[in-house]
Amino acid sequence: MSAAVATEQAAAVLGGTTAGGALSGLAGTTGLAGLGGLAGAAGTTTTGPTSGPAQPGTGAALVESAKKYLGVPYVWGGESLAEGGLDCSGLVQLAFKDMGIDVPRVARQQMHIGTEVPSLAQAQPGDLIVTRGGGHIGIYLGDNKLLHAPRPGEQVEIREMFETDATIDTIRRVLPTGGPAQTAAGTVDVSRLAVELAAGGL
């Protein structure tokens, strides 16, 4: 099998990410530092259907992870269903944990992870929206919608955003918005995958 064909097959295995600069640039990137560096990287494109399951390790996958908890009661300090509910940062932490990624527990710590997104207009699904001086955090869904655990007496919900850049403390991108599958340890080494495909190892 030629290297070009192997690389294209590697791209297919990874969910349709095109070969070329995006693949070579991603090869070998590891760790949360790698995730931060990939977040918002230009030039990565995807092919194939626009619907279907989100690629693992992306902001879209975080959205899917968090949506499992819609309707769960708000409980101050709650970080697991065993406690009867979740608070805003407990929801964020649990959604990441379900993906195999550890993040800090409280919103004032979570507001410093990842990389900052300059404005709401540039926010993508899976970005974290922090308000109230770090007192509240939610997950951006796109289309001006926020998934969050609001307050006692309410439940994890999706609502239209009324916040603006003036009232948002920070927007954080912890995961890339798309691209190849990721793990908590880092990204797939696309070059190695292409070699294994060429050798018939996959």
- Which amino acid belongs to residue 18? T
3-class state of residue 197 by DSSP: helix
Q: Which of 145, 171, 155 is nearest to 78 (CA)?
A: 155
The residue from 88, 106, 129, 161 that is catalytic is: 88
Whether 136 is catalytic is yes
The residue from 38, 136, 149, 177 that is catalytic is: 136
The residue from 57, 60, 148, 175 that is catalytic is: 148
Q: Residue 109, Cα to own-chain centre: how many angstroms?
A: 17
> 115 forms bridges with which residues in the sheet?
173
Q: Which of 40, 79, 32, 80 is nearest to 57 (CA)?
A: 32
3-class state of residue 46 by DSSP: strand
Cα distances (angstroms) measured from residue 144 to each of 33, 87, 139, 199? 28, 21, 11, 47
Whether 148 is catalytic is yes
Whether 112 is catalytic is no
Query: For 139, phi and psi rounded to 5 degrees?
Result: -110, 125
3-state secondary structure labels for all residues of 90-143: HHHHHHHHCCCCCCCCCHHHHCCCCEECCCHHHCCCCCEEEEHHHCEEEEEEEC
3-class state of residue 29 by DSSP: coil
Indicate which residues carry an active-site annotation. Answer: 88, 136, 148
